[in-house]
Structure formats: structure tokens, C-alpha cells
Structure 1
């Protein structure tokens, strides 16, 4: 069968595509072979000058990588795009910096390249030049405005993993380019104390590879240089190792001594596995460094040093340690299982490692043991109780299993929202009573312990003295209103997006919750103290008891209807036809047998009915409607808050709203 015109066209297109791919492959190969003749021939045969090979490499990028200026000129003249990116976001410009070719860098800048442009990993041309030690390229780029202290930009997801943030100086230090390091600091003003997203500065980067034989000498030289430049000696790497520990791992006594001479260093600081500099020296059986550390005051009662020396068969080390009062510590075989599920592994690790006790407190300030970061320090897991030591104030709390935000995001969340909000209100009341406004009532600042108790934290020191500044209190009340909505809606929306429209209208507390939120946002004159007694916090039994008690309080008045008709009672009665809504049999039973005064649709008569039904129980009514509180509160859900607000808003009768409720 003859192919149709359509199928013939498809075959032609496929053939054309295959030819284009072949030409692209050959063009890239010709560039990598530095064959100008081959490149010209392929371009004349129709090869795309901007075609891409594996990894997204264009011919121009390959020519730059090959450091072939003639090919670069040729390809640009033939229309090569200087802005094209590889799959990793790199451009011909960043490749030129890697090669270190100033002529190509200048040529590409003339084509409009952004000097601080970066690839997907945040590397700029300046950073690439530093990484590969291309000093001439560094100087050229700096002269053209490259930002010497620019930190590596990464995506939000990578930043959450503490990736990125490094500078060109850190790159030069990491790769051991001592001359480039000096140029960056002395001629370009690179900041030696900037940290990457893992908290590491240039010194840490310099010492990270120092243990390797080929990089030892340059790492030592860079380390001494940075120390002379005033670098912070107390920074740590991602494993919690200080510069001192890294220098001991390198087995560089000169660098160890130089670090100790700085004075401000903590000689007994430990990494995430609990190892101090002395422990590392003992593990490496380096008696010279161990002696130096002991002479400088390193503690020999931290860690089982004698046991390590014995395991190493290091008799001289054991003698040295005993000379400085080290003792053998028997191992504790006892197993222990934490109650906490969330922090189980970290707590077991803390329990197992040997740490000096601070009073009765066992704590290890490393990333693994940290619960929460704050501007004032950190919150760490600990065992037992605490005291003050070494210039730190240790405040010990019951273990916080999670914060409020985390708790509400869990599908198995079983929080009693009313009880939780009661504790939140109480916490803020106590803070206000001390004369402070919080100013940051975010779910992340409320912590829940293993028993479900909620704590309000302020570790970022946002609190402000009130000192009569009503606006600070009002700001806290508004924030509390938003937080209340967030809790009631189980954190389904972010704090700043949740609104009263998100409340479930069929909730048994809907009307009370809506009124309390509005009262908080409108800066109700009752303040936090008065609003803590709001009907929202009452149980069903308390609400029904309140309704039953009102008639007895108002019937002795000359005109009980005045109570709900005062000038300040803004709301209208929500059930103007309540006699039509209530069960007809109930109304008949309550009116006829005793020939009682007929019940009208007035609110006072509804309260009279509720009170009479309680004082004159009827088995037929109970069988008909079941529990009285359940029946009336479900049938008239807005009645409690209406009665409460009507009394509260009428100065003459506001005292009638007082009711004994459990203390917050």
C-alpha cells in the first residue's frame, strides 16, 4: 500500500530531526577537538550554533571550557547565545572563570553578562575563580564590580537543608589556595567571619580538608593567616567540630597552640558525638597535642580517656593522662527508654554518652540535641534538673514534645481545644500581670509537654514593657483572637489567613467562640481578665445553670423586661418565635396542668420556662426531650451569649451576669 501524504510528511520530519541531532553532536565534538575548520563546515551544513549536547552544553560553553579564544570569537560571530545555560544553570561566563581566561571574561561582559549571575547551585563566576584559585580572573572580576562577600544563593528547599550561603573566600580556603585567600582578604576586603547556612566560617572551611596529606600544608598556612586576621575561633562545622578539634584531627601542634593562644576558645567544647579536642588527641594517640591541651587546662574527667588509651595500648598516653588526674570510668550497662516518642533517639544518645554534670543537669549543646533556635541562644534536650554554670544560665523545663503548630498539623490530634485555649489565655494573662506584652503570639511560640500542658515561650525577646501603653495590650488581644481562630480550625490555614468564616457554624460553641473572637479584636473593655470568664469557656452544664438562674434573679424586679430592653442592648433577641420552635407537647404540659400564665415569645418567658422545667420536673417531658441542657442549648444555641451580653451591656444589671466558673 502506498503511504499517504500525511505519513510521508511525518517520515520526512523524523528524518530531518535525526539529521539535526546528528549535526549537533558532530558540532559539539568538533568544538571539543578545537577544529575550527570542522566547526565552520558543520555550520555551513546547517548545524544549529546554539544546539545542546549532553548536560545542556552549547558549542560556546564547550569552546570556553577548551580555553579556545578563536573558537569563542567565531561562535559569537555566528550567533552563539552568550546567555545560554547548561542543565545546572551554568553559563559560558562561569566556565570562563573556571578556566581563568580574562580575555574571554571581558569579551562576554561586553555582550551584557551580569557579573554576579549564578548557576542553580548559587555559584557566580567570582566564586568559581576562587574555587579553582584563578587569581587573575579574581582580580579582573573584582575590578568590574563582583561582590566579594556575596553568599551562595540557593532555593528555599536547599536552604531548609542548610545548603548554600558560602562565599568566594570560603571556597578558596576549602580548596587550599593560600595566595588567593590572601588576595581576597588583603586586597579585596573579604570578610573572614561571614558564615554559610551551616554556621561555618572561612576558618572551618580551611581546616575541613586539612587531614589529607596533599592539603595539610596549605590548610595550616591559611589557618594561621586567618587567625592573624581576627577570625572567630568558636565556629563549628556541620558535625559540631570546632576549629580546635579540626586542628587536632589534622595533628598540627602549631595550629593547636595558635588557637589556644587566642584565649576566648572553649578548650572543652565537644562535637555532636561528645568528643572534645583532648578526646580526639587521645584517640589519635598524639601525646604532644594531648600534653599541650592538658597544660592549657583541658578537663581529663570528661569522657573515658583512660579506657580509650588502654584500648589503643597507648601506655605513654595513659601515664600522661593520669599525671593530669584522669580516672578510669566504668561503663554503665543500664538501658533506659524515654517516655517521649518524638525525641526518643536523641534522648537515648544523650543518656549513653559521657558528659560532665552541671549540678544535676546533663546537657549537650549540639545541633542533634537542639529543639529550637532563638535569637538568645537555643533550647536543648537535657536530663534531670539544672543550675547556673560556665557563664550560661540553664533554665530547665518539662520536656516539650512539640509546639502548637506542629501539634495541630498531626492527623491524630486529639487536643481539647477549649482546654488548650484556656491555658493559652492564662499564659498571656500571667505575662501581662508582670507588665509585659508578648508581641509575637505565633503557634510556634506555644509548646506542649508530655502531659499536654501548654507553655508560652519568648526566647526571641520580642516582649515589651507595657507601662501604660494600651496599644501594646490591644495588639496582643488582636493576635490572641487570630490565634484562637487558628486553634478552633485546627490549623487548616496559616495563622495570617484564617478568619471567622472558617469557623464551623454547626459547632456547639460557635456563637460563644464568634463573640469572644470579636471581643478580642475590638479591644473589649473587660480586657483579658474579664474575657477569661467568657461563656466560651463554660461547660454545657454551666451554661444551662446560668440560664436557669437568671429568671430567679430578675423576677423580683419591678419590670423584668427592662433587663433586655436597655439602651446598650444592641442585639435583638435571636428567637422571636421561640414558642413555635419548642416541642409543642413540652409547652402544653408546662402551661395547662398548673393553669400557668401562658408563655409569650419574649426572652424572659423562655428563661421562665427553663427555670420552671428545672424546678418542676416532669417524667413525660424528660422522656420526650432527654437531657434538658442538651435539648435547650441545641435548639437555642445563641441564647446563652445573648443573655450574657444583654446583662453585661446594661450597667444597671451587669452584676447579674456574674457566675462562679472554674478558675483558669
Structure 2
């Protein structure tokens, strides 16, 4: 429909640059002022008649909006395009429809405008005339061929949201245009039950618009012309339910008078018109519904009225057969949480007004934790136990929390976001309920010492945290509040990252990510120290002091990398998830064995790149593998050296390559029958070598990382549950 020459000057001599500059703003301003002489002058000097402002308004659009027929004709005579569009797609004809000016409509149609042209939201001049109540324009456009039942077309994005599809009748009904509605139905044959893309008819749209005018008259008119009285709108609401929610007894009575009305229809929340009327304490409407035969078994009607202290409504409901359940115990309901179970059962049995899908009682008995805004409480959301985080309705933190959940959906190491509700100035964010914080979890007694032994607990907990933070960063967010209180353990013993109300979108800024990494470094120390050093104490120390608290080389290297990540932190944690800290001792031992199994090491090929990498520089006396042979059990070392002496080969040397060869050979032969005594001396080789040479794995890792030999490094995978690694809590 749009002209192909929409963005080019009209045919004719091109105006000079000075004339164009003069006319760009001057012509539009002259039209707005209604200065005909100035308009004439600018046009004669070559001003572009189709110039437009940043919103696409041309001089012709402005002249039509002002209702200046004389200026419209002048502009058209000088080549103004009658079908030029604004940014929203509106043409001068559509604006004339809003004004309801028949003379302008006539002129524009005579100059090439089309009666059915529409803007990008699907509005035609006819639809606009209906919406704004312009009766003469409506009749004129209909006579010129406007389609009375044309449905609004819209963009693909909006169509996916089921927007659009409304007719002129729906617009007139929703906006209280009684006269227009009557003309459309009686004189033009409008379809009374046409549906928009959400399936709503004109009756539904009339009743959903709380600000609509003449609602009773329009409802009556639509009903007399056969509108479906059982149609449904948003959230499954029928006209009757909508009328009840408006607390409009007259509308309810009118709808109940229609044959075929389904008085007991339920909305998407399972509520009938009667249940809603009782909740809203509308006794007159309750009476109308009960007299018409509404089912009084549709909920705890008497209980609701009793809790509202409405004795007369209680008596009315009882007289129509409603059941009194006020003294009956609540049905059985079993929460999953062991820690919060009793409180949740009490909450479930309480009669509380619902906040959307949420049941909540803001009492100290149901409080989980304090926050800077509104606290965290136990709740039941959509019949599911949840933790409810409270914010002010306009809270920036609340918006950040939800935005982060929506931007990083469905990660197994995040608390699960179930939904949110808004009520009376408060914003409620509902997430999965967890049993305890990381601080509480680490403080619980467990059997088995971990000092100088493999710390499976710390590795499992931190691996889950690292994966959660890495996922956050990969979606362009930074947490900005990593601390033990914001790491939770759920009923299945899974580690969950929580509290995203200070999160930010990084948008290429590395500083928020670096702050997360530094906090994560101190969180590593907090976990490996089992919470013995308060997190705030760790945060108060400088990076060097903090790193020195590390109990082993793997922890120290990991912490140093986190506290001093360097300039490029993009995907930084992806790399660190493969750090030896996260390798089991068995995997560390297996890595040393596999490197020692390389042929260049077994053959002592001094020219190999592998040995050059491993043996660059002399081991420092402080390194555990310096003079390593003296550290090995004497009996075992003699046995291993004897093997080569018998074959007239050189015994093991105090080199890193030979140590790896030694570890490989031990692994290959320790379980043989004739080596029983050696095995008794060594025990578990993975533990023996980790404890004897505690810095060897980090040395090998540092030397071989980013080389072809990192193929021997294990692939780290997060445990989904702390239980897999450390057993039930409390042990």
C-alpha cells in the first residue's frame, strides 16, 4: 500500500542546498502555525513538501491533524504524498479518521489514499473513527467501501503474544461509543461475536475495561444482538466473572437474565463468580447468584465470610446450602523440608488471603532471614513450599533479582525461581526453599578428619559454586555479593547459589567480574577452612595475606589466580574448573602416572620437549620433590632401584622425569603378588604421593598446561549433590 517513492523528493528540479536547509524545519513549523503565506513562500523556493521530523510527521500529517483543509490542498497541489507514513505507519487518511473530518477524508481519497490502508498496528481510518466516536466519518468511510469486520493485523512479534485482531466494533465497545456501536450493529452488519487474537469478543473487552463508559448500555446492546455470554478473556474470565470483579450488581443481573449462561464457569485459578463475590464481600451479588442457582459447593464460602466477620453473609450462604468447614481440620499435606516442615504445615492449615498464587504469613514464626528491605519468609506458592523474598514494589533490587533469574534460566546450581507477585506496594519473589546456609552447613559436626587427607567436602561444595558463578558470567551477569550466607544447601543436599538482588549486567565491563572472582577466592579459603575464619575477616585481609592462609599448594594457586586474575577475565572460570584443586587425589595420581608413561620419560630422551618442560631449572630445596629419592620409603626405593641394577641399567635419578617414571612403575606393579611388602609400606599410592610430594601436581600442571600434554589432565565434572561426596549432613 505504501508508495515506492516514499523516501525521495518529488519529480522536478532539485532544490538548492540552501533552499533545502531553509525548508527542512521551516515548512513543518509554518504548517503547525497555520501560516499559509509562509508555506506558499517556502514551497515556491523549493522546500521539500515531504520533509519529515524524527517521528515521521510530514507537513501533510500536521495539516490534517490541525484540520486545515486549505493547507492540505496547498500541500497536495505541490506534490505532498497522501500515503506517506509516520514511524508507526499512520497515513494522513488515518489521522483524518481520528479527527472525523469528512472533507479531509474526501480530499485524501481523491488524491490516491486507500480506504483500507492501515498503520503498523493494524488501525484503519474506519477503526479510528469508531474508537473516537466520529459518526459522520464512520458512515462516509463505510460508503466508500471500508470493511466493517476487518480485523487488525499486527507485527509478527505482537502476533506471537496474541495481540491484535480487534475489529471496529470491539474498539467502539471498549471505549464506550454507544452510538457508533448501534450503527455498526444495526446499519452496517458488524459481527457481534468476532474474536481478537486472544479469543475475546466485544463483550469481554467491554467488561475488562474498568474505565469504559456506558458499560451497562453497551453490554445490553451487545447481548440483544447475540453476543456470547460465556466467552472468555484473560485468565479465563467470563463476562459474569468480570462483572462480579467490577462489583457491578446491575451488570451481574443483566448477564444472569440471558439464557444459556454458565453460572458456575471457573477462571484459570479455579474460581467461580460466586466464590469471587464472597471474597469481595458483595452480599447483593451473592444473593443474585444464589437465587439463580449458583453452586454453593465451589469452595470454603462460609469460612471466607466468617474470616471477613460478615455474619449476615454467612447466614445467607448457609441458607442456600453452603457447607460450614470452619471446624474441620485441614487436609493432609506433607512438605519436603525437614527443617521447616512443622512451620510449613501450620502455614498450609491457616486461612490466609491469597496474593495471586502465594500464601504467606509475615510473622516471626515463619521468618527465615532478615534482609535490607523486607526479609525472607516461608511461603506456599502454587501449592509448592518456597522461600519468599520481600521487596518494595519499586525496589531496584527486586527488579535485579528477577532480571537475573530470567536472564540465566534453569541452572541446577541456582535456587529455582518459581514466580513473583505484587500486592499493596510490595513485591514478592518466590524461590526454592533450602535447608540451611553454607555457614550453617559447615558448622555441623561430621565424622572423619580432613587435615592432611583428601577434602572431598570442600571440593564438592566449591565445584558447584564455581559452576554456578561461571554460568552467571556466561550469561553476562555478575553476582556482586558472593558470601557464605548467599550459598544454600537444599533438602537434597545440593549446593545452590542465591540472592541475586545486587547482580549487574556486565556489558563488557570486567570490573564486576573481577569483584566476583576476588570474593570467590576468599570463599575458597572459607570453605577449605570449614568456616573457622569468618568471611568478613578474610575480606579484610589483603590478597597476599589471604593466599598465605591456604592449607596446600592447589588451594594456594587457585586462590592466587582468583585474587589476581589479570586483564582478560572473559570465560575465566571455564579454565579454572579444570584446576587441580578440583581433581580427586586418584585423578591427580592418575595424571602423574599418565605423564610418566610417555615414551620420552621412560627412555629418558633428554632432547624431548616434554623433559625440557619438566626439568627446566633445578628444583628448589623448598620443593618437596627436590632430592625426591630420599623422601621415598627406604625399602621401596631399594627394591625399585634393584630392578634396574639387575638389568645393568642406571638406577633412578633425582629428576622430575624419573620421579614421574617411578610413580608410573609403582602404579603398574604395586598390586603384583611379589610386591605385597612394598604395598604395605606405601598403602594407597594416590594418597602416598600426594602427601609425600604435595607440590608435585601443581608443578606438573603449571609446566604442561597449554601444551599437548595437558591431554593427560582429567575432565572435571561437578557433583550435583554434597551427599554424593560426604554423606548425609550431620555425620
User: Relative contact order: is structure 1 or structure 2 higher (C-alpha 8 Å, sep ≥ 6)?
Assistant: 2
- Please give the TM-score of this superposition, normalised by the length of structure 1: 0.49
TM-score by length of 2: 0.46
